[in-house]
A and B are shown apart, each in its own frame.
Chain A
Amino acid sequence: KAGVTQTPRYLIKTRGQQVTLSCSPISGHRSVSWYQQTPGQGLQFLFEYFSETQRNKGNFPGRFSGRQFSNSRSEMNVSTLELGDSALYLCASSPVGAGSGNTIYFGEGSWLTVV
């Protein structure tokens, strides 16, 4: 069974640009969560989608947005990039979400560098 797939793996953007990251969950998983990982802040929860609906949201500005498609694939978008947005962005999937006690499975992440 294929794992969680994230694309692209590495990207470099300029301040002020916008970026879209993609996540394909494990087949049959309907919940997709996004996290930002930085050395000083650890893992910060961005949002969770379930059946195309945002179910939960972390404390990030509105520049961070996401969506989920009917096949459970998800995208996240960051507009007006800032230097501080440089991070590893991780996607995780689970059958119905970690809130139920499900194990969540992570992709390899997308490394974003903003210059």
Chain B
Amino acid sequence: AQSVAQPEDQVNVAEGNPLTVKCTYSVSGNPYLFWYVQYPNRGLQFLLKYITGDNLVKGSYGFEAEFNKSQTSFHLKKPSALVSDSALYFCAVRDGAGNNRKLIWGLGTSLAVNP
């Protein structure tokens, strides 16, 4: 079955340091992969997605993600973390076929950026 995993419940990083939030997936066929961010008491906001093309995808707020087919990973990265990046991050992968396609979500990773 298709699945997505975010192996870390929480990531802590100091402001100004690079950050990585990990995501691995399991799909048959070509994956469609997404990253979203959720700030406290808010809905989810789209950051970036990989459908096809370059393995390095650039998104909102300085975030980027690298699609690695051999490692079935789609890790989210940012060169220099800000305190305001502290939030809950979700990775998602498209599941199913035809009209039955839907997004499967990871359980989320809480990112804390310390001043």
Q: Which residues of A contact B (CB under 8 A)?
A: 4, 6, 33, 35, 41-43, 45, 48, 55-56, 58, 90, 92, 97-101, 103-109
Q: Which residues of B contact A (CB under 8 A)?
A: 32, 34, 36, 42-46, 49, 51, 90, 94, 96, 99-108
**B96 near A99 (CB under 8 angstroms)?**
yes
Q: Which of B42, B46, B90, B104 contacts A105 (CB 8 A)?
A: B46
Given contacts A42-B107, A103-B49, contact A56 B101 (CB under 8 A): yes
**B96 near A101 (CB under 8 angstroms)?**
no
**B49 near A56 (CB under 8 angstroms)?**
no
**B46 near A45 (CB under 8 angstroms)?**
no
**B103 near A104 (CB under 8 angstroms)?**
yes
**A56 near B44 (CB under 8 angstroms)?**
no
* CA A99 to CA B100, docked complex, whole Å: 8
